[in-house]
Structure 1
């Protein structure tokens, strides 16, 4: 496992390999950099073997590979972190065990599924309840239970979308109770559905690659389409549906941050900030080193983790 790697260790194991940069070195050769991942953590790699670099040029997205090399201290890193100097790279064979490459979140899946069902049953507005029951059923529901909420940035593990959606709904409920004068059914439904399009945007396959549809349309617009489709099947129309769609379409807060429309209702602001809080808090579960201070790419700052 990557978390067990130490300087001087010779490595030969299956990993998820992400190529981040390919270039020319100062001595006229070539190099490639990237990340190796399994469900215990990740580690940078560097490779100078021209044949391997050529293979990496043809790779489209992350790929499971068998790699070999030596773990060494990254002398160009400020905190002297480890990296793998990669010397071999081969295709995975059918008999190779790759179960350690699917990241799992540290939460009780059954508990969160029970919370989800309780939230749905607590929605009393008939049309909104029908939309939720329509979406959270069948194969769509099965995918929702295992899909990540992100490729890498937040809740990027099996079941991450379930955990994130339920926690956003919980935070939003608390905000709604404190603020008052809001439609709690719309808030709960909007929180549970705000990222539902990620089922179609991000695959639950190893590496959580983006789908073609996901790259072309994005999860915000796909979430709105899925809600609209469910409303059509349930014959739900009117202002409540429009307000629910507004929450989904504006949950990034501003158009500059990827929302087709900016928040314009109390309910949409509540869901937006609940979403943001939960995504940020998830960053504190990611400390992969011994140093309590770790640079976070999503937030672009150092975060202090518990010792």
Structure 2
């Protein structure tokens, strides 16, 4: 097994990968070719089939495990596989564990650490909202531990949703200590619950793709519905407190153009947005710089709208 993060420019390889994506296109001259996204647990690799109708390209579909043969090249400072042969792999030829990207951190330790913040919530109503899912709902807990935080961009791996949530909570913990205006109970509850809708927005691995509800509603609306469900199960839950908590969830992307139905209006909503954005961007940078053994400029990045480069001695 040659994992994607070990591949180097100039190598010719024959290996099995998950075909995570497949899209047909045409060159400027009108010649058809296929764009593939190949995946294993270490990352993804762009693949190009310049002659999809050749005899070396067998029938295959997206989400199939395929054996590919081709040459690794460097294109715009990113590795790419020019594929000459493809065949669909048999189930006995691969182990699923080699193809599921996972968090490098211990899932159980992270979850126990997250539960430690649940215990910091003193308001009984808010504590019960969090416990409704994170303590009492075993099916939810299993999904939450294994889920990704995104299809791509940041934390797009098993355990990514938990890792991201814990990081956001830790950012919020700093702000609670630094800014007395913040209601720690509201902020901790919102931080722990801000992305719970993603367990319904995205399908589990290996698909890790948008569900119908993900396409039609999105994780913010789904998350607010889940908060409402928990609040309705708690007798005499204060309406004002429920609205404040749901506002934090609704506004945590910060801007209307980023998918939030409302912009932040509470200090806690601002704090959650800052924490969420900071962790998402730092993890995205981490994944961009990962395995880039160069201190040259990497080129313009559309997400950050700037050219990027590692500092000398920067950790990976």
TM-score, reference length from structure 1: 0.89
Question: 1:288 Cα shift?
Answer: 3.2
Counterpart check, 1:41 vs 2:43: yes
Give 2:138's aligned residue.
138
102-111 vs 123-132, which deviates more? 102-111
Give 2:147's aligned residue.
147
Q: 1:302 to 1:208 in 2, by over 3 A?
A: farther
Where do residues 204-243 of structure 1 align in structure 2 (5 Å cutoff)? 204-235=204-235, 236-243=237-244
Give 2:183's aligned residue.
183
Q: 1:159 to 1:51 in 2, by over 3 A?
A: same
Provide the rounded CA distance (Å) in 2 between the counterparts of 1:289 and 1:250: 35
The answer on whether the counterparts of 2:67 and 2:89 sit within 8 Å (CA) in structure 1 is no
Aligned counterpart in structure 2 of residue 290 of structure 1, from 293, 303, 309? 293
The answer on whether the counterparts of 2:19 and 2:36 sit within 8 Å (CA) in structure 1 is no
Structure 1 residue ranges without an equivalent (≥5): none
Give 2:200's aligned residue.
200
Question: 1:54 Cα shift?
Answer: 10
Provide the rounded CA distance (Å) in 2 between the counterparts of 1:46 and 1:156: 23
Q: How many residues align?
A: 299
Question: 1:300 Cα shift?
Answer: 3.9
Question: 1:147 Cα shift?
Answer: 0.6
Question: 1:63 Cα shift?
Answer: 1.5
Give 1:14's aligned residue.
17
Counterpart check, 1:87 vs 2:87: no
Provide the rounded CA distance (Å) in 2 between the counterparts of 1:125 and 1:63: 46
Provide the rounded CA distance (Å) in 2 between the counterparts of 1:209 and 1:90: 24
Give 2:4's aligned residue.
2
150-159 vs 40-49, which deviates more? 40-49
CA RMSD of aligned residues (A): 2.2
Structure 2 residue ranges without an equivalent (≥5): none
Provide the rounded CA distance (Å) in 2 between the counterparts of 1:194 and 1:215: 18
Question: 1:243 Cα shift?
Answer: 0.3
Provide the rounded CA distance (Å) in 2 between the counterparts of 1:153 and 1:24: 26
The answer on whether the counterparts of 1:65 and 1:89 sit within 8 Å (CA) in structure 2 is no
Q: 1:297 to 1:13 in 2, by over 3 A?
A: farther
Question: 1:160 Cα shift?
Answer: 0.8
Provide the rounded CA distance (Å) in 2 between the counterparts of 1:190 and 1:36: 36
Question: 1:285 Cα shift?
Answer: 2.4
Q: 1:282 to 1:200 in 2, by over 3 A?
A: same
The answer on whether the counterparts of 2:250 and 2:260 sit within 8 Å (CA) in structure 1 is yes
TM-score, reference length from structure 2: 0.87
